[in-house]
């Protein structure tokens, strides 16, 4: 899996220069541990500075146990921000790990960081939604982000939505999400109050609706044939 090496190779190679090696459970068994043992594993991994020999295990926990793992990482980021001088490489690596989960929990934890410093952490909203596409329909997560009721998250989510909807593949993804949310192609009343559609400017809404409605009709027909 090695996602951490892909995300921040230079930073991680620097912080993984540790004295000695510790024994860790195989990645395939990390999810079999109790919550308590998983928490201990995450704490120890953070303490060691996210060494590479724990990358696959952390990947498994971040993707499959985000509700347990991400709050622990976010808490340590807040602690690191108080250190003088700031632990910049740790903060960058840890915040990317949160965004990597690409789910509602990731956005919830990102919202805490955005509240602290939107200039520094606002980019993580888009990163989270981009990563969501690796595991699920990213528009499902976009709706989750808007439901948080956090102004900074909502604003950044809509920036991501508007930039993404210029791509046909993403238009199809939104159309599929609409059909899943409403059980069919949304009508006038539903479109008017839909959390995403209602936030689009009027010109974009009118132009997009025609396209999205056609794609949603197609998605609905496919759904009916299942």
pLDDT in tens, 121-164: 999 999 999 999 999 999 999 999 999 999 999 999 999 999 99
Residues 143, 198 contacting (CB under 8 angstroms): no
- Beta-carbon contacts of 183 under 8 Å, excluding residues fewer than 6 positions away, are none
Residue 197 forms part of a structural domain: no
Residue 220 forms part of a structural domain: no
Q: Tell me which of 145 and 224 has the higher pLDDT.
A: 145
Give the closest residue to 132 by CA, choosing from 150, 113, 151, 105.
105
Residue 91 forms part of a structural domain: yes
Residue 24 forms part of a structural domain: yes
Domains contained in the chain, number = 1
Residue 19 forms part of a structural domain: yes
Residue 80 forms part of a structural domain: yes
Whether 96 shows a pLDDT value over 50: the answer reads yes
Whether 13 shows a pLDDT value over 80: the answer reads no
What whole-number percentage of the chain has pLDDT above 70?
Answer: 87
For residues 96 and 208, give the distance between their C-alpha atoms in angstroms, rounded to a whole number: 32
Residue 184 forms part of a structural domain: no
Domain of 84, in residue numbers: 1-101
Greatest CA separation found in the chain?
A: 63
The pTM (predicted TM-score) of the whole model is 0.85
Whether 91 shows a pLDDT value over 90: the answer reads yes
Q: What angle do CA 100, 46, 2 make, to 5 degrees?
A: 45
For residues 45 and 66, give the distance between their C-alpha atoms in angstroms, rounded to a whole number: 15
Residue 159 forms part of a structural domain: no
């Amino acid at each position: 899996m090695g996602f951490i090496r892909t995300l921040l190779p230079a930073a991680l190679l620097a912080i993984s220069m540790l004295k000695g090696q510790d024994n860790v459970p195989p990645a395939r068994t990390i999810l079999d541990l109790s919550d308590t043992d998983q928490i201990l594993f995450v704490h120890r991994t953070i303490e060691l500075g996210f060494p590479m020999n724990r990358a696959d295990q952390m990947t498994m926990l971040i993707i499959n146990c985000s509700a347990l793992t991400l709050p622990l990482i976010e808490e340590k980021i807040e602690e690191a921000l108080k250190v003088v001088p700031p632990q910049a490489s740790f903060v960058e690596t840890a915040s990317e790990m949160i965004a990597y989960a690409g789910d509602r929990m990731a956005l919830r934890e990102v919202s805490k960081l955005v509240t602290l410093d939107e200039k520094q952490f606002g980019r993580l909203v888009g990163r989270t939604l981009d990563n969501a596409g690796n595991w699920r329909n990213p528009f499902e997560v976009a709706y989750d982000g808007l439901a948080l009721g956090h102004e900074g998250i909502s604003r950044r989510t809509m920036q991501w939505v508007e930039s993404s909807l210029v791509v046909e593949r993403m238009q199809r993804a939104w159309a599929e999400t609409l059909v899943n949310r409403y059980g069919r192609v949304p009508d006038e009343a539903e479109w008017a109050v839909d959390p995403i559609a209602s936030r689009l400017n009027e010109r974009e809404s009118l132009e997009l609706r025609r396209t999205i409605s056609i794609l949603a009709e197609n998605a609905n027909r496919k759904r009916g044939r299942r």
